[in-house]
Chain A
Amino acid sequence: MTTTEHLQRMAAPTGAITPGVLRAEWTKLTSLRSTRWLLLLTVLLALVVSAVVTSVYASQYDQDFAARHTIDPAYWSLTGLIFAQLAVAVLGVLTMSGEYGTGLISTTFTAVPQRRTVLVAKAVVVSAVTLVVGTVSSLGAFLLGQSVLSGKHIKADLDDPGVLRAVTGGGLYLAVLAVLALSLGALVRHSAGAIATVLGLLYVLPAIGAILPPSWQDTAVPYFPGNAGLAILHAVPMANAAAPWTGFAAFCAYAALAFTAALYVLPRRDALPK
């Protein structure tokens, strides 16, 4: 008998997603203080940064500024999400890596030997929570930012072209990011390592992209994970950026790739790294 056969037999890799498993993961996620803090941080970062950025742009706004910059007030008020994503990424990673760090994963996998079921349940729960909190953050940041612009003719409205898409897109982006981060937590199995990997994808890779030759700027760079996902926040089309839904689809593909890789390795490895 080959080793692979033993590995496949050892744990049942698949199983139905029962309400019980979802409730278990919901209980785990909501019973931790760190979850509450990270979600609170998500909202605060989105609101505070948005208010500050929108105020700065508004104070500098004149004919000259308008000539040099893309005027996208909806996007100004959503820039806080670029910072809020940090908290969501950490939450996603910890949802999985936290179990490896404490050894809880052994208890979890003895209760539910269908390991893929555990990962899917975690993805459902953490993405649902971040979708709600992310959408609230996005809408709140938009409304707060636009209130700064009240009385100015550049103020954006939800029924302006692309604005509703940008605002709801903020919540969708964070929900998908949570799944990407969760998957990296499952693959790396170490909180610090997995968080560093996510930050590398979201912040370092775009920074590297910015110094690549111009020919890359309008071909590959817009499809780097962070860049692609954040394209959906632009209400006004940008040069050197992916089209909003195209970029978002690319970001979903990255998350799906990481999630599939995690589903693949989870039943094939020993529960804890030796």
Chain B
Amino acid sequence: MMIAAEGLTKKYGSVTAVDDLSFDVLPGRVTGFLGPNGAGKTTTLRMVLGLDAPTAGRVTIGGRPYGAHRRPLFEVGALIDAQAFHGGRSAAQHLLALAHSNGIPRRRVHEVLEQVGLGDVAGRRAGGFSLGMRQRLGIAAALLGDPPVLILDEPVNGLDPEGIVWIRTLLKSLAAEGRTVFVSSHLMSEMAQTADHLVVIGRGRLLADTSVEDFVGRTSRDEVRVVTPQATELAGLLTGQGAHVQAVDGQRLVVTGTDVSTVGRLAAAHRIVLLELAAQSASLEESFMELTRDSADHTADSGNVDGAAR
């Protein structure tokens, strides 16, 4: 079962939260839905689940709008808000009401509670749960109908390291079973460890729909870090060769548009002392920042050595 969004748009008055978004989420892999906070991820997921109406465009799951599914918990499991339960009910009662609504047998309630590690607190009022336990309860609800499609909004929020590893393993195994797994996060590093594919948005617009490797390859800027007492001299030489140089401080430079051996040879040829020389690939986090950075942002130019050296 595939999730397909076409031209999905959501406007609140004059504010466009989601802007002409089109993407497909395929089965058998974990698709990360990535974007900074406020990029429109939750709004998009709410539209996928038929909770909010698109201003334009459409989104289907298995070829049909969400609302056309008769007993949707058998088709789609969703965690949209870990707080979306009544604190006065026990975990088991909350899940039992959900199970009844879709004709899911009662035993599934206990199975999913065991699966997410809440078996011992099934009878406790959910209002007293920690954030991590709330996330687990939300995931239990998503798993209730054993659905082929899972849509989880920021599932690692509030989980402890053990919980994060648990959910990573869970998501991968669900995808390995051939399910469609669509997980949002604002943490690139988390998605790098979990996702096979990425849908990246910023300000409601699609920025990338690509595999994790391609995403890093496309957006990475290989940098060379240099530490030298003759920073100004080296910066001048590198700039003369067409490289782009940024001064970190009086001794440290970050150079792009060249490579380590070129910098090393250039320094040796001009008898410049190098205290440190290292190649550094942009991390996923940096790739993400690079991609989502506002094009009107000029802060990167402020520390430029070219100007200072003149």
Q: Are B67 and A111 in contact (CB under 8 A)?
A: no
User: Which residues of the partner chain A approach B52 to less than 8 Å between Cβ atoms?
Assistant: 10, 270-272
- Chain A residues contacting B93 (CB-CB under 8 Å) are 27, 31
Within 8 A of B (CB), among A1-58: 1, 3, 6-7, 9-12, 15, 18, 20-21, 23-25, 27-28, 31-34
Q: Could you tell me the distance between the alpha carbons of A111 and B103 in the complex, rounded to whole angstroms?
A: 11
Number of residues of chain B lying within 8 A (CB) of chain A: 42
Q: A101-109, A141-149, A216-224, A248-256: which one contacts chain B?
A: A101-109
Instruction: Decide if B80 touches A104 in the complex (CB within 8 Å).
Output: no
Alpha-carbon gap, A33 to B93, bound state (A): 12
CA distance A98 to B87 in the complex (A): 10
A84-115 interface with B by 8 A CB criterion: 98-99, 102-114
Stretch at the interface among B94-102, B160-168, B204-212: B94-102
CA gap between A164 and B93 in the complex, in Å: 39
**Given A7-B53, A107-B98, A271-B46, CB of A98 within 8 Å of CB of B86:** yes
**Is B158 part of the binding interface, using a Cβ–Cβ cutoff of 8 Å?**
no
Say yes or no: A21-B51 contact (C-beta < 8 A), given A28-B89, A32-B88, A102-B85.
Answer: no
One of A27, A32, A107, A112 near B80 (C-beta < 8 A): A107
Which A residue sits closest to B12, measured CB to CB? A274
Give the Cβ gap from B123 to chain A, nearest Cβ, in Å. 11
Contact B96 A27 (CB under 8 A): yes
Given contacts A110-B49, A111-B72, contact A10 B54 (CB under 8 A): yes
How many residues on chain A are close to B (CB under 8 Å)? Answer: 40
**A109 to B65, Cβ gap below 8 A?**
no
Asked whether A11 lies within 8 Å of B101 as measured between CB atoms, the reply is: no
Pick from A3, A23, A25, A114: contact of B67, CB below 8 A: A114
Measured between alpha carbons, how far is A9 from B100 in the docked complex, in Å? Answer: 25
Are B50 and A11 in contact, with the CB atoms below 8 A? yes
> Smallest CB–CB gap between A36 and chain B, Å?
11
A23-B100, A27-B93, A27-B100 in contact; A111/B73 too (CB < 8 A)?
yes
Kindly provide the distance from the CB of B63 to the nearest chain A CB, expressed in whole angstroms.
14
Scoring A10, A15, A31, A271 by chain B CB atoms within 10 A of each residue's CB, the highest score goes to A10
Closest to A94 in B: B86
Report the Cα distance A88→B249, complex, angstroms.
Answer: 70
Are A31 and B90 neighbours in the complex by a CB distance under 8 Å?
yes
Interface hits, B92-128 → A, CB 8 Å: 93, 96-103
Out of B55, B66, B78, B96, name the residue touching A6 (CB < 8 Å): B55
With a CB–CB cut-off of 8 A, which chain A residues contact B50? Answer: 10-11, 109-110, 113
- Tell whether, in the assembled complex, residue B97 and residue A109 are in contact, meaning their CB atoms are under 8 Å apart: no
Residue of B nearest to A7 (CB): B53
Establish whether residues B65 and A9, one from each chain, have CB atoms under 8 Å apart when the complex forms.
Answer: yes
A113–B65 alpha-carbon span in the complex (Å): 10
Residue of A nearest to B101 (CB): A24
A121 to chain B minimum Cβ distance, whole angstroms, is 9
Check A10 against B86 for contact (C-beta < 8 Å): no
Contact A27 B97 (CB under 8 A): yes
Chain A residues near B65 (CB-CB < 8 A): 9-10
Q: Nearest chain-B residue to A4 (Cβ)?
A: B53
Question: Least Cβ distance of B129 to chain A in Å?
Answer: 13
Complex: chain B residue closest to A269, CB-CB? B53
| Contact yes or no, A104 B84, CB < 8 A | yes
- For B98, the chain A residues whose CB sits under 8 A away are 24, 107, 111
**Distance between B236 CB and nearest chain A CB, rounded to angstroms:** 55
Contact with A along B37-69 (1 / 0, CB 8 A): 000000000110111111110100000011111
> Nearest Cβ distance between residue A7 and chain B, in whole angstroms?
4
B54 touches A110 (CB 8 A): no
| Binary per-residue interface labels of chain A (260-274) against chain B in the complex, 1 for a CB within 8 Å, 0 otherwise | 000000000011101
In the complex, are the beta carbons of B89 and A32 less than 8 A apart?
yes
Who on chain A is nearest to B127 by CB? A102
Instruction: Report if B81 contacts A (CB, 8 A).
Output: yes
Of the residues A20, A27, A272, contact of B51 by C-beta under 8 Å: A272
Q: Cβ of B87 and Cβ of A102 under 8 Å apart? A: yes
Are A1 and B56 touching (Cβ within 8 A)? Answer: yes
Given B55, B68, B89, B90, which contacts A12 in the complex, CB threshold below 8 Å? B68
Query: How far apart are B78's CB and chain A's nearest CB, in angstroms?
Result: 5
Among residues of A, the one whose C-beta sits closest to the C-beta of B51 is A271
User: Chain B residue with minimal CB distance to A30?
Assistant: B93
Cα–Cα, bound, A70→B102 (Å):
55
With contacts A10-B53, A31-B97, A32-B89 taken as known, whether A106 is within 8 angstroms of B103 at the C-beta atoms is no
CA distance A111 to B85 in the complex (A): 13
**CB closest residue in chain B, given A13:** B67
- Distance between Cα atoms of A271 and B32 in the complex (Å): 25
Residues of B within 8 A of A270 (CB): 46, 51-53
What are some 26 contacts across the A-B interface (CB < 8 A)?
A1-B56, A3-B53, A6-B54, A6-B55, A6-B56, A9-B67, A10-B66, A11-B50, A20-B103, A24-B98, A27-B100, A33-B88, A102-B87, A104-B84, A105-B84, A106-B49, A106-B84, A110-B76, A111-B72, A113-B66, A113-B72, A114-B67, A270-B46, A271-B52, A272-B51, A274-B12
Can you add 13 more A-B contacts, CB < 8 Å, to A106-B84, A107-B98? A6-B54, A10-B47, A10-B52, A11-B53, A11-B67, A24-B101, A32-B88, A98-B86, A102-B86, A107-B85, A110-B66, A113-B67, A271-B52
